[in-house]
Structure 1
Amino acid sequence: MEIIVKVLDMNDNKPVFTQDPFTGTVAEASKPGDEVMRVTATDADEEGSANSDVRYTIISQEPPLPSPDMFVINPVTGGIRVNAPGLDREKIPKYTLAIQAADMEGNGLTSFGKAIITVTDSNDNALQFMTFFPENKVDVTDRDEPHSSTCSTTYNIVGGDPQGLFSVSIGPSKLEGIITTAKPLDFEKNNKYTLLVTVQNEVPFAISLPTSTATVVVNVEDVNEAPVFTPVEKIIRKPEDLPVNSDLVLYTATDPDTARSQKVTYKILNDVAGWLSINKDTGLIKVKSLMDRESTFVQDNKYSVLVLGIDNNEIPATGTGTLIIELEDVNDNPPTIDERMIKVCNKESSPQLLSVTDKEGAGFAAPYTVQLQGSSLSKWTARMNDTKTGIILTLKTMLDSGDYTVVLRVSDNQGLHQDSTIQALVCDCKGADVHILGILGAVLLLLLLSLLLLMFLRKRGGEKKKPLLQEDDIRDTIYYYDEVARMTRTSPLGSPYEDYL
């Protein structure tokens, strides 16, 4: 027969915690009832029996502040919850709980363990402004965890700066605010500003707390500012022939430092043509020497100078203004003939085209007119070409070869004229042959120069040969010529020889 023996369980195993210690965290702003963590224990006795039925108990809390029962544990599940208000990381950052696990529904064998609870930071501390602000900074203290988001700040200027002259940024510590100017300040308009500054954390408060504010007084220091010309660039229009010592313009600057009662004196800079002068006390600019629109110093009819305004501060400040003079053209330059010398044949002479130049603008230049003067009238004819910009000069009578002077009076469209003298070389030739003769003459001259150069080189080459006689052997050389153009030389040794020329 089969005998079945059933072994009854005895409570001979005590509970064992699954870890020791247990660790958990709780935010300091947690409220009663918020779960923190859970502890567990196992029992090797028969499952489902009282021998393995474990219950949990908190034996003690360290430190027992601000209440000895800050936490409570669920005896069945082992869940630990906040039991009382008053968690404060800044005062007590960590709690250690002694925990008991007992089987037999809490009345049997026991085991002991620990649960360590770390209190984490919540933004539950209002920022406090410091009573002393160094330089341009505002600073606060924050009891929350340093370098965390609950301790990082944002600043705002909420009053006293309607024009947005200032801005505030965060300093390296994340607690300080640095106030800087966003726009230029003007001591003469306002020398003092009272700013209302607020500060908040980047993370919202965990509990209801007031916003921290501070009053910052900014005193503006006076700085010597440069005089200011109005306008900075002044344009005037004047005729170029203004007499010397004529008034041009009054160009002055004002000193923005009204509280200093300073005097401004004036000076001209970059007057490259040397045409202007300025009264150092009044700023009146006059003509010092005659101006000229056609000068190389004038660009697009404009002449510019830089005017300085200098205050009399201990360290003077200088302001600058630009005076631009638009010079009106005046017909003060008569037309001139470019050519000064011509060559013509004395028979059937070819017309000569002479170019006319006028420095003036279009209103005072072409069309031009021309007239022969003095004795030139009887020997030459002169007329303008079809465009009235060039002169056609022609020899009308036969002259002997030689140099002649031709006087031409050229007038512009306003009648301003000037006599120009042309040197005419009259050659014994026909029509335009003078040009051919000139070319041939140039070729012959070139050949002659080449021949001379060749002879010079041959002479230099002969000097390098060793002489036949010593320097102290002095002999006479006799030259004579016969009818066939031979040159006979008697040598130093007495025997004649011939060279053909």
Structure 2
Amino acid sequence: MCKILLFFMFSAYKTASIKQTSTVKHLTHFIFYVLQKRRCMLIPPLFVPENQNVPFPKLIFKSDFAKENTMIYSMKGEGADEPPVGVFIIDKNNGAIYVTKPLDRETKDKYVLTVHAVAANGEVEEETTEIIIFVIDGNDNKPIFTQNPFLGSVAEASPRDFEFMVANATDADDPDSDHADIRYSIISQTPPQPDPNMFIINPITGGIRVNSDELDRETYPEYILLIQAADMMGDGLVTTGTAVITVTDINDHAPQFEKTLYTASVPENKVGSVVVKIPVTDGDDPQTPAWTANFRIFSGNSGGFFSISTGPNKQEGIITTVKPLDFEQTNKYTLLVITENDVPFAKPLPTSTATVIVNVQDVNEAPVFDPAETIISKPEDLEVGTELTVYTATDPDTARAQTVTYRVSNEDRSGWVSIDRDTGLIRVKSSMDRESPLVKDGKFKVLILAVDDVPATGTGTLVIELEDVNDNAPVIEEREITVCSKNSVPVSLSVTDEDGSGFAAPFTVELHEEILFPLVPAVF
């Protein structure tokens, strides 16, 4: 029955307001009246405020039960005879309980003790009774930020109400009381431009949100907020901290050419030649994909003569030639160049363009034989002075009036041909010989030079296929032979002819002088 009454009594104390001391006192008297009739001692839960500034020891419980019963009281447990020892004491004669010093709820919020009552005659007449002492919280701890400063970042042009970081604090006071009910606010913003209220903070959660459409990293890359945390729902103890906000870059600035028109000159025929370097500027964060420029030739490069690449500093386009340019075909190109970034624009932006006019510089080019190698067939026994062919070259430099002259290369060791200096007419200069070591496979090659006024020299090759004629007699290799008059045997002769197959074997061999024995004519 005592346990049932204890539960009832504890519930009553938990639901009753601490300030209603009169009600609690009457309730306590009522409970002890009931317990007295039951011969049972039961002490209700006690509530003691922390940090009391009063004379100690201070009475926290006095029972009327001891007035009608002569008892000896003792108390055990944490805070009595166990560490911390002596926080609570009990009067052994009347059972009054005292607290001896200020309590700290944050150190210990509850004490559980046992009270033992023994009859004065030494006989135990009461059971041991448990007493619970709750330490009532006082607002003695101000909020503490979990870090200071708070570091956060937010992309420029973020929308309003976008929450990007949280600043929070803790309070060591009772979490179920207003003493730990924290509210947050922003005290100041540095810099205050372009709006002193660029950010707002959720007063309950501490979430920091964007409150403006004017975040611009290029103008204000960082903000420092002085933030406040106050308990008692904002009306209690206060602490301050800072939030450092970095405004991060987005690609909200297109690269811009420093000029819209560039003029450059490049020699014809040069591959890999740098035509022009065209710099740009970009307002975004340097060395980021939103800042690095890319380039492309939008028009004017149908022949694929040019390419454009990004320079080492990431802020210039370099146009180079990738095919030989020909002044005589096209002496000027107009290129339209566009620049963009490594990453797409965060919002629609106008693209910067530049026009590049490339003037092709004329370079003196050597005369060109067409074809580069010409082949003719002629008998090898042509008379000196015979015309062989006309072999001429043209000068590609049509913008220049130049005279082309011709000569046989000094590398020619035969001296068989000559060429007219002005007309390119080639004649036989000395007798040609198909059987000469200078002739390979019946073909004789001679290098012809064409020289313009600068001078620049072009070359062409004349190939003469020499037609064979019978201009070489057969030769018997054995200049002497010995034949015995008795028991003679036939002797074979070796005959050669330097002419081709049409003018060589078969050969006929016969004697031209009288001999003492017959010679049988033979055909080889």
TM norm structure 1: 0.74
Counterpart AA for 2:201: I
Q: Please give the residue correspondences for 1:198-209 in structure 2 after superposition, counting only pairs within 5 Å.
A: 198-209=338-349
CA contact (8 A) 1:225 1:256 kept: yes
4+ runs of 1 displaced by more than 4 Å?
Answer: 132-135
RMSD: 1.6
Partner-residue secondary structure (3-state), 2:294: strand
- For 2:496, the equivalent position in structure 1 comes to 357
Letter in 2 for 1:240: E
The answer for the alignment partner of 2:255 in structure 1 is 127
Q: Within 2, Cα distance between the matches of 1:303 and 1:38?
A: 93
Once the two structures are TM-superposed, the CA of residue 374 in structure 1 deviates from its matched residue by 4.3
1:402-413 to 2 correspondences below 5 Å? none
Equivalent of 1:187 in 327, 335, 339: 327
Please show how residues 391-470 of structure 1 align to structure 2 within 5 Å. Answer: none
* Equivalence for 2:304: 164
Within a 5 Å distance, the mapping from 1:462-501 to structure 2 comes to none
1:263 CA displacement = 0.9
Please tell me whether the aligned partners of residues 372 and 382 of structure 1 are also in contact (alpha carbons under 8 angstroms).
no
Q: Distance in 2 between matches of 1:383 and 1:154?
A: 93
CA distance in 2, matches of 1:357, 1:47: 127
1:37-76 deviation line (CA, Å, top 9, x unaligned) = 1111000000121110111111111111111111111111
The residue correspondences of 1:201-280 to structure 2 (distance < 5 A) are: 201-269=341-409, 270-280=411-421
Q: Distance in 2 between matches of 1:327 and 1:154?
A: 63
What displacement does 1:5 show? 3.0
State the shift of 1:127 in Å: 1.4
Residue 245 of structure 1: how far off its partner (Å): 0.8
Cα drift, residue 170 of structure 1: 0.9
Work out the CA distance in 1 between the residues paired with 2:520 and 2:438.
Answer: 36
- What letter is aligned with 2:192? P
Residues 118-173 of structure 1: CA deviation (Å, up to 9, x unaligned): 11111111211112758611111111111111111111111122211111111111
Paired AA for residue 133 in structure 2:
V
CA separation in 2, counterparts of 1:11 and 1:348? Answer: 153
The CA distance in 2 between the partners of 1:382 and 1:340, in whole Å, is 18
Match of 1:49 in 2: 177
**Post-superposition CA distance 1:347-376 (Å, at most 9, x none):** 343322111001122222212222322435
Amino acid aligned to 2:355:
T
Partner SS, residue 308 of structure 1: strand
Pairing partner for 1:153 from 282, 285, 293: 293
* Cα deviation digits, residues 403-443 of structure 1 (max 9, x gap): xxxxxxxxxxxxxxxxxxxxxxxxxxxxxxxxxxxxxxxxx
Aligned 8 A contact 1:34 1:82 in 2? yes
1:174 deviates by: 0.8
**Is the Cα–Cα contact under 8 Å of residues 58 and 97 in structure 1 kept in the other structure?**
yes
The residue correspondences of 1:371-386 to structure 2 (distance < 5 A) are: 371-376=510-515, 379-384=517-522
**DSSP-derived class of the 1:105 partner:** helix
- Map residues 26-105 of structure 1 onto 2, 5 A cutoff: 26-105=154-233
SS at match of 2:510: strand
Q: Shift of residue 379 of structure 1?
A: 4.5
- Report the equivalent of 2:316: 176
More strand by share: 1
Deviation at 1:272, TM superposition (A): 2.1
Amino acid at match of 1:66: P
Match of 1:177, SS state, is strand
Match of 1:296 among 437, 442, 445: 437
Distance in 1 of aligned mates of 2:236 and 2:290: 47
Kindly state the Cα deviation for residue 281 of structure 1 after the two structures are TM-superposed: 1.1
Letter in 2 for 1:383: P
Query: Could you give the per-residue CA deviations for residues 425-463 of structure 1, whole angstroms, max 9, x where no partner exists?
Result: xxxxxxxxxxxxxxxxxxxxxxxxxxxxxxxxxxxxxxx
Q: Percent identity?
A: 60
Residues 197-217 of structure 1, C-alpha deviations (whole Å, 9 max, x = no match): 000001111111011111111
Query: Within 2, Cα distance between the matches of 1:246 and 1:34?
Result: 98
The 8 Å contact of residues 370 and 382 in structure 1, kept in 2 or not, is answered as no
The answer to whether the Cα contact below 8 Å between 1:303 and 1:324 also exists between their aligned partners in 2 is: yes
CA offset at residue 179 of structure 1? 0.5
Paired amino acid for 1:286: R
Q: Secondary structure at the match of 1:258?
A: coil
List gaps (5 residues or longer) in structure 2.
1-40, 44-130, 265-274
Q: Give the TM-score taking structure 2 as reference length.
A: 0.71
Match of 1:342?
A: 481
Q: What is the alpha-carbon distance in structure 2 between the residues aligned to residue 365 and residue 33 of structure 1?
A: 108
SS of the aligned residue for 1:347 comes to coil
